[in-house]
Amino acid sequence: MKVEQIAIFLENRSGRLAEITGILAEKGINIRAMSLADTSDFGILRLIVNDANTARTVLKEKGFTVGTTNVVVVEVQDKPGGLAHVLQIIKDAKLNIEYMYAFTQKSGQTGLIIFRFEKVDAAIEVLNKAGMKMLSGEEVYAI
């Protein structure tokens, strides 16, 4: 299952993250997951939100450069080895992970790992065959 993620490119200066989150809050857009990576000159803010179309539109209207991509959200057990298990499946299938980030829903129960794969459809097929639970966009937005 593919989940739409937006990526916002922003210059590395004070207050930009607050500006973006404020714009989204004003429009009633709820952030479900986020990752921020930076270099000395700019950052890439990756977000999964409950309304990607509106988020993309309002941020572009405010002058931000916004892109979209599909990611895969995998549920794993929140215990030692939970992440290692899914990564071994990915390794055995020789799939390339471009990046990933994760969060725990409830300690000791489940965690969610958000993957950006080089070959998304192939990754979904491999994870399905391995019996891994993947979440739809609607399931992620409802968390």
pLDDT tens across 6-60, in order?
999 988 888 889 999 999 999 999 999 999 988 777 889 999 999 999 999 999 9
Element (H, E) at 24: helix 16-26
pLDDT band at 124 (very low <50, low <70, confident <90, very high): very high
Exposure string over 17-37, b if 16+ CB within 10 A, otherwise e: eeebeebbeeeebeebbbbee
- Written as six digits, the tokens of 98 are 């471009």
CA atoms of 141 and 33, how far apart (whole Å)? 9
pLDDT for residue 103? 84
Domain boundaries, given as residue ranges, for the chain: 3-70, 71-141
CA atoms of 28 and 33, how far apart (whole Å)? 15
pLDDT for residue 45? 95
Residue type for position 116? R
3-state secondary structure 68-121: EEEEEEEEEECCCCHHHHHHHHHHHCCCCEEEEEEEEEECCCEEEEEEEECCHH
pLDDT for residue 15? 87
CATH superfamily label, 71-141: ACT domain (3.30.70.260)
> Does pLDDT of 74 surpass 80?
yes
CA atoms of 7 and 68, how far apart (whole Å)? 6
pTM above 0.85, yes or no: yes
- Choice between 50 and 143, residue whose per-residue pLDDT is larger: 50
CATH number of 3-70: 3.30.2130.10
What pLDDT digit, counting tens, does each position of 83-122 carry? 999 999 999 999 999 999 998 877 778 899 999 999 999 9
3-70 and 71-141 in the same fold: no
pLDDT for residue 3? 96
In sequence order, the β-bridge partners of residue 9 are 44, 65
Sign (positive or negative) of CA dihedral 68, 72, 76, 80: negative
